[in-house]
A and B are shown apart, each in its own frame.
Chain A
Amino acid sequence: MNMAVRTPDPKKMIKGATGDWEVIIGLEVHAQVTSNAKLFSGASATFGAEPNMHVSLVDAAMPGMLPVINEECVAQAIRTGLGLKAAINLYSVFDRKNYFYPDLPQGYQISQYKQPIVGEGKVLLDMPEGIVEIGIERLHLEQDAGKSIHDQHPTMSFVDLNRSGVALMEIVSRPDLRSSEEVKAYLAKLRTILRYLGTCDGNMEEGSMRADINVSVRKPGEPLGTRCEIKNVNSMRFAAQAVEYEARRQIGIIEDGGEIEQETRLYDPGKGETRSMRSKEEAHDYRYFPDPDLLPLELDPSWVDSLKAGLPELPDEKKARFIGDYGVTPYDAMVLTLERASADYYEQVAKGRDGKAVANFMINELFGRLNKDGKGIEASPVSPDQLGAIVDLIGDGTISGKIAKDLFEIVYTEGGDPKALVEARGLRQVTDTGAIEKAVDEVIAANPDKAEQARAKPTLSGWFVGQVMKATGGKANPQAVNDLVKQKLGIE
């Protein structure tokens, strides 16, 4: 087994009464496959329909109905595997996982147990201390269950089978994560990769991505501790909270002389704690066996190759290219490539311009403003052309950085051509030294005390620059003002 060995990092550890504890975390992420139809039936896999409107005879497990594999779901799993730099298994097997539940009509879930479609891969995390590699153990395809609804009737539960049979990818990491921060970063990175690939929309609120989190603790250098599994966590924030709580709970038990029992737990976001769902003894015996209704899945290597050829550029590669091609910092490159749409936007603007200036303006102004409105880049009122025009106006000295902010706000709220707006609203930067000189003289003349202080302590000259900018309505070229103030004060 390719256990990525990580050097225990004291900074990631949790302090207990008896010393530092290392937290060992592995995740099983269930990601809903983006596809029109379900994994084994032709029913629609879209979200949000009235209950039981997307249910075929197969999904309802009518007698004599048989599953037929959806080729697109298989393709999506392969694309995801390739995106995780994982081995694609040309031979895989669908198994039945048997248990009774009203929202599981067949009485079994079709899943992949011993021979999954995707094998070992990896995900790279951008952590403050550098890149951290998290091993992927496997990815397999399986059916989602339906939904039980318990609050519609005093004595009965209702069942909605719209989700029953929808394709999920279960992506299993190695126990390579060491902190709640890494858990958040891992989920975010996985989500980014899936969204780039178009294989899952990554929408955690709608349940398109859910995580089961395995947590154990140990003293550095000791063997792995007993783990607890926190089921079905549906937000990155909750995932981090659950890990923090669970690790401390386990440390507390061990330090009090107790032992951790292997069990399944649930995270309650309201109370901020995990609680026991079922113990190891109560665990189901799923009686896995190969589904006799489905032949083993044998993939044509040339088909896998064609899927590979059709993959988009992935976030890690894009990030590296942005650093190389546009000279942006690794941090900026990471921010720009979080979403494929942002990266595309950036490249449209950055082509033929100063990449660093574009990155700064996008991250500080555009992202900040969109964030404030809770909007995504797709909904940006400022187009790449408009943004590019603003950056150009800064670059050729037509407007100052400060004016650019105002101009951006105008374009954002009112729209319009930035260049025309500069003219129409008189936003052009004043570079006429005569006019600036006059303003500088006036300010110095009006404030002889301050001028004296500034001569003694040149850093105080900034006050004069501010006053001159104010007097000129911010349109003066700040560099020119700065130079003139120093010259006039004689503090060159």
Chain B
Amino acid sequence: MTDLTSLTLAEARDALKAKTFTAVELTDAYLAAMEAARGLNAYVVETPEIARDMAKASDARLAAGQAGPLEGLPLGIKDLYATKGVHTQACSHILDRFKPVYESTVSANLWADGAVMLGKLNMDEFAMGSSNETSHYGPVVNPWRRKGSDVKLVPGGSSGGSAAAVAGRLCLGATATDTGGSIRQPAAFTGTVGIKPTYGRCSRWGLVAFASSLDQAGPIARDVRDAAILLKSMASVDPRDTTSVDLPVPDYEAAVGKSVKGLRIGIPKEYRLDGMPAEIDALWRRGIDILREAGAEIVDISLPHTKYALPAYYIVAPAEASSNLARYDGVRYGLRVPGSDIIDMYENTRAAGFGAEVKRRILIGTYVLSAGYYDAYYLRAQKVRTLIKRDFELAYAAGVDAILTPATPSAAFGIGEKADADPVEMYLNDVFTVTVNMAGLPGIAVPAGLSAEGLPLGLQLIGRPFDEETLFTLGAAIEKAAGTFSPAKWW
């Protein structure tokens, strides 16, 4: 038998239906791969017993001809998702030993469709970070290395565990979340495909909140088809999340392989940054060429408020986070560090429980919402947000079907490389992705080539609201021309 972990999710699905192997065999192959890859630190918790029980149940359903769309397919779940009875801490010390009595809607959708849970994936603490270095459980190592180097690189963040696990063949696909680029940036850093759907496409119920108006669930997968299959199962309207949207979920997989002929692709000039590495620019041109050759029409567009997106994002997101994280007070669950009185207990608990980056964002958020500063910061940032949204609306109204940009301003960097840098340097990783969250639009990151150092680089496609299908169609066209990318196994 070939290595079962080399199959894509779609291939494994078809093989299970053809009874080429069993769900238990497939699951065992992944559990073995996870054990062998513990040095990557992609998983914070492995759940082999749950995985085998679910796989057995899947085999029974496969045998009975009652297979769901994801029957028997082993997945990794980002630690931000509430999983009933299983470690759920958003990789924070403050949620020590927290095991919810409930299951997030998105993961419940996956299990209802037959998927198998392998474990919980590492991430930046409370999804705050772009390198997975803020996790209480330590950094994740990118399965990719520079040519001829054994320097350990970051997988990006915050969904670094998800991206590394998919790239390293430690799961068939993974759930992730994206508040400012946390799906797309790590996907780009690991040669995987990640899509952040339109705000409201997936339920946020049971996702540990970072910034409620920006957070959105999505998959990281090996290729565009796999991402389409996973999103179909993850997406749903949910009466428990009133920001989720009641629109039918299309058959995204059917969009993969469709012709891009006649689609108008906007190229926003504001995404060409000063000092952007030449190979990022070259990758962008390559993407333009691929789509043009496939029959798409390329048009130059302007999104004039782009440069304000990152500063505005770093007001809105911390503001919401400062409030969302107030519930971690040591009173009801998670970490409690005793104190002489209630205030002392709060202070001790939150001082010990939150890492430096989380504290920084809580401080920023508290500041921008304070009396006397609210209008100058939060209100202004919301106005900027409206303008950014309007930029996109105008572009789409002018007939553009999707927008093509680089996914990140660079390839993956070394672990600890930016430890002493200004935090803003880390924030700049999200410069191409935050606009999409600010506008609530869908965005997909697709690998399109390798850097001179042999590291994957990704392109981003931004779509109209709820038009994820066009993104899958375009992403598949790029993938068809550029191929897929796998790291050589060294771990």
Contacts and interface: CB of A to CB of B under 8 A. Distances in A.
Interface of A: 57, 60-66, 68-69, 96, 98, 100, 102, 105-108, 157, 159, 285, 287-289, 292-295
A293 B212 contact: yes
Contacts of B371: 285, 287
A293 B243 contact: yes
Nearest to A98: B323
A105 B324 CA distance: 11
B323 A68 contact: no
A65 B462 CA distance: 29
Contacts of B243: 293-295
B319 A63 contact: no
B326 A106 contact: yes
Interface residues of B, number: 42
> B interface, by DSSP: helix, strand, loop or mixed?
loop
Nearest to A284: B371
Contact of A105 (B100, B104, B332, B369): B332
Given A98-B326, A107-B323, A295-B242, A64 B82 contact: yes
A294 B212 CA distance: 10
A62 B100 CA distance: 8
B449 to A, nearest CB: 37
Contacts of A66: 204-205, 240-242
A64 B238 CA distance: 14
Interface in B338-387: 342, 346, 366, 369-371, 374, 378
A49 to B, nearest CB: 19
Given A289-B323, A289-B374, A292-B213, A64 B242 contact: no
Interface of B: 82, 88, 90, 95, 98, 100-102, 104, 204-209, 211-213, 239-243, 319-320, 322-323, 325-327, 329, 331-333, 342, 346, 366, 369-371, 374, 378
Contact of B242 (A106, A159, A288, A294): A294
A62 to B, nearest CB: 7
B87 to A, nearest CB: 12
Contacts of A60: 332
> A interface, by DSSP: helix, strand, loop or mixed?
loop
Contacts of B320: 289, 292
10 contacts: A63-B100, A64-B209, A66-B242, A100-B329, A105-B327, A159-B331, A289-B378, A293-B242, A295-B242, A295-B243
Nearest to A289: B369
A64 B100 CA distance: 10
Given A107-B325, A289-B369, 12 more contacts: A61-B332, A64-B82, A64-B207, A64-B208, A98-B323, A98-B326, A105-B327, A107-B326, A107-B327, A285-B371, A287-B366, A292-B211
Nearest to B200: A295
B346 A100 contact: yes
A473 to B, nearest CB: 74
Nearest to A63: B208
A62 B449 CA distance: 43
A63 B239 contact: no
Given A68-B242, A292-B212, A62 B102 contact: yes
B102 A287 contact: no
Contact of A63 (B212, B322, B327, B374): B327
